[in-house]
Structure 1
Amino acid sequence: MIPFPAISPELFSIEIAGIELALRWYALAYIAGILLAWWLAVRSLARVALWQNESPPMAPGKVEDLMTWVILGVILGGRLGFVLFYQPAYYLANPVEILMIWQGGMAFHGGLLGVVIAAWIWAARNDVPKLPLADLMALATPPGLLFGRLANFINAELWGRPTDMPWGVIFPGQAAQDCGPLVDICARHPSQLYEAILEGLVLGVVLLVLAWHRGWLKTPGRIAALFFAGYGAARFFVEFFRQPDAQFISDGNPLGLAVHLGGWGLTMGQLLSLPMIIIGLWLVLRFRSTL
């Protein structure tokens, strides 16, 4: 077992006029992810030879405006996705708390849907072709996933199921240590790191190589389709090791399956990822035939 490293969720904090202001690693992860996404998008647009007919979908200068819409889509979609997918009954009874995003609670699948809607509206308003734009955004997304999952680990949140593997981490907190009465010290899968590696690092490198060195951007929609399938597959796999949300766990459902029949079923993360895998793979095969 590995003790949880002594890393504070706050990078630093200062007090001004009796008010404490803190920069948290989670906020820094968002900032770093946005900056890297902007950099990748600008660099990709500047390399005109990467695109079909050497015609990028838009000028690099438009990325800043697009990022504003994307950030709004991430925040609003991620929050509403968490409310609808994970705790609808609670927020129906406490609607005032829906907008209290500082208390935590964001869902990737909701954020993805929010970004898709925001980008679709932005593309229509700016007369930008939608499939190449989707490829550009898919290519720029993995760094944010990487940093976001690393921040989840630093915050000691979204940890995995109990494990006796040698890389199991002893996360702090009563909830993380609740592994049953027969367990004195509970080690858990560092599922945040699994997601950081698969969804952020591996998927990001694969997309970058295919886009910059294998000509995949010349077939509009192909990179975006692979992102959908790749993220969905990575998340579906990691869900076997990730501790589900407490509201899904009961005496009759110790694995926290959102849909189940006997001992078989899917977690909410797997249920939301399955359509991504199916649609993504179908689109990859479809766009492949256009080469």
Structure 2
Amino acid sequence: MQQAVIANAAQAIHWADLGLNPIALDLGFLQIHWYSLAYIAGILLGWYYLTRLIAQPGAPMARRHADDLVFYATLGILIGGRLAYVFFYQPDILLHPLDVLKLWQGGMSFHGGALGVAAGIFYMARRNGLSWLRIHDYVACCAPFGLFFGRIANFVNGELWGRPTDVPWAMIFPGAPDGLPRHPSQLYEAGLEGIVLGLVLSFFFWRTDARNQPGKLVGIFLLGYGLSRFVVEYFREPDAQLGTLSWGLTMGQTLTVPMLLGGLYLIATASKRTPVNVD
């Protein structure tokens, strides 16, 4: 396999030749990165789609609640995503505490961001006497927007590349070791976690009564994301500071296991919860 990868290096696509620039706009005194714009686009599109979802009969919250939720969810994504990345993937950042705030340099964990959003939903729901689980169902349908744009931003940044390969679409990323052609695993994730998972959730929301079974949609999201991430980790280069862990899984796969189990549980028990009565 290694010899085939080396032999294919001459025909591989060079990321540097694509003309991509992590900086979207350079004003001299201020640089706006695509990574930042990806989060903004994901949040705004997610908010817009959420307003479409709650316009349907039996919604778990009103428009004013959705507007408040965007604020809490944004805080959850930024705080939870960054802290989880630091603690689980790169604890050395804690030696320079101010570097924790440098979000524009990349380094966010979806698992931590998901927990942060869950905390924001729980707080908003409890404050307004709403069903936190049903709100989770609706928010889960919006999450693929952020996942898609986030992975595209990873590709534009030339980071989180895949393992060495000899497939025809293999790419050589400037920062990757050995200069070997690698899977563009960022695009695999954008397709699976963003497009495919988004379409699956859209089908279940609009074409079935899943939204009237509390917990079912968020269960489908957890299961779908978990499976996508677990599979893609076999094509994605493990984090250099961690590698494959002693039990044979990467950190990304390990953190996904609770999501898979939680998703299966929520789907299996959804029909036992009090269904939503839609007039």
Same fold by TM-score greater than 0.5:
yes
Find the partner of 1:109 among 111, 118, 138: 111
- Equivalent position of 2:59 in the other structure: 56
Number of positions where the alignment pairs a residue of Structure 1 with one of Structure 2:
261
Tell me the secondary structure at the aligned position of residue 183 of structure 2.
Answer: coil
Query: 1:114 and 1:43 mapped to 2: Cα distance?
Result: 23
User: Which amino acid in 2 is paired with 1:45?
Assistant: I
- Equivalent position of 1:251 in the other structure: none
**Which structure 1 residue ranges, 5 or more long, are not aligned?**
49-54, 180-184, 249-255
- Equivalent position of 2:39 in the other structure: 30
**Which structure 2 residue ranges, 5 or more long, are not aligned?**
1-11
* Greater helix share, structure number: 2
Q: How does 1:1-291 map to 2 (within 5 A)?
A: 1-4=12-15, 5-15=18-28, 19=29, 21-48=30-57, 55-88=58-91, 90-173=92-175, 176=176, 178-179=177-178, 185-248=179-242, 256-260=243-247, 265-288=248-271
- Equivalent position of 2:9 in the other structure: none
Cα offsets for 1:101-153 (capped at 9, x unmatched):
34432111111111111211111111111111000110111011001101100
Tell me the secondary structure at the aligned position of residue 247 of structure 1.
Answer: coil
Structure 1 residue 96 displacement after superposition: 4.0
RMSD, aligned CA: 1.5
Query: 2:26 and 2:98 mapped to 1: Cα distance?
Result: 29
Query: 2:96 and 2:23 mapped to 1: Cα distance?
Result: 29
After superposing on structure 2, the runs of 4+ consecutive aligned residues of structure 1 that deviate more than 6 Å are none
User: Which amino acid in 2 is paired with 1:127?
Assistant: G
Query: 1:28 and 1:87 mapped to 2: Cα distance?
Result: 24
8 Å contact from structure 2 (residues 35, 106) kept in 1: no
8 Å contact from structure 2 (residues 148, 194) kept in 1: yes
Tell me the secondary structure at the aligned position of residue 11 of structure 1.
Answer: strand
Cα offsets for 1:63-119 (capped at 9, x unmatched):
12110000000000011101111123x144333433333443211111111111121
User: Which amino acid in 2 is paired with 1:27?
Assistant: S
Tell me the secondary structure at the aligned position of residue 160 of structure 1.
Answer: coil
Identity %: 48
TM-score (structure 2 length as normaliser): 0.89
Tell me the secondary structure at the aligned position of residue 167 of structure 1.
Answer: coil
User: Which amino acid in 1 is paired with 2:13?
Assistant: I
